[in-house]
Amino acid sequence: IDPGLVYDTVEGDNIRFLCSIGYDEGSIKIIAGNNTSCPKNSTKMLPRDFNYPTLTALVPAGKPFKVTFNRTVTNVGVARSTYNATIAALSELEIKVVPQVLSFKSLTEKMSYKVTVSGKALGGRSMVSATLIWSDDTHDVRSPVVIHTYEAISGAV
């Protein structure tokens, strides 16, 4: 298998997420299998903050939205490679990728990018999707983009 680009995850992100949703220190130590504890003054981490290929967010129904995703990829394909971003999207979404080109000089080099997804108000229980594709001459690395709504009165986040 030659994926070209991979999205690394680190234990610290998983711990920070578990702490932000209320796991206590004892549970964190059991899950981590060591003396790891919740970081002091850590901010709340949403599932969309994970460095996963999928870009998904829950937005309130009936309101315009703008969501930003930050991602880092590692080059595991060809040492000198350039990937260009393209978007396959519905007209309900406006998607901006910065930078639009990732130029790697070596294997295992990491580069970051930001995706901003915005749109007009969506109805309740709506879901819209798109695909971000990073392409070089050999690989097409696809990331689904999924925006779904919740009813604002439900209190869901």
- Alpha-carbon Rg for the chain, nearest whole angstrom, is 18
- Report how far residue 27's alpha carbon sits from residue 34's, in angstroms, rounded to the nearest whole number: 11
Tokens found for residue 143? 């990331």
Decide: residue 36, CB within 10 A, 0-12 exposed, 13-18 middle, 19+ buried. Answer: middle
Closest CA to 116 of 30, 64, 45, 55: 55
Q: Is the pLDDT of residue 90 over 60?
A: yes
- Residue 153 is predicted with a pLDDT of 40
Give CA separation, 45 vs 51, 85, 129, in Å. Answer: 12, 26, 23
Q: Is the pLDDT of residue 141 over 70?
A: yes
Mean pLDDT of 10-32: 86
**Where is pLDDT greater, at 65 or 41?**
65
State the chain's mean pLDDT as an integer. Answer: 89
Residue-wise DSSP of 93-142: EEEEEESSEEEESSTT-EEEEEEEEEES---TT-EEEEEEEEE-SS-EEE
Which residue ranges form the domains of the chain, and what is each CATH number? 48-154 (2.60.40.2310)
pLDDT > 90: percent of the chain: 58
Beta bridge partners of 85: 134
Contact 7, 54 (CB under 8 A): no
- Report how far residue 153's alpha carbon sits from residue 135's, in angstroms, rounded to the nearest whole number: 41
**Where is pLDDT greater, at 42 or 33?**
33
Q: Is the pLDDT of residue 13 over 90?
A: no
Q: Is the pLDDT of residue 157 over 70?
A: no
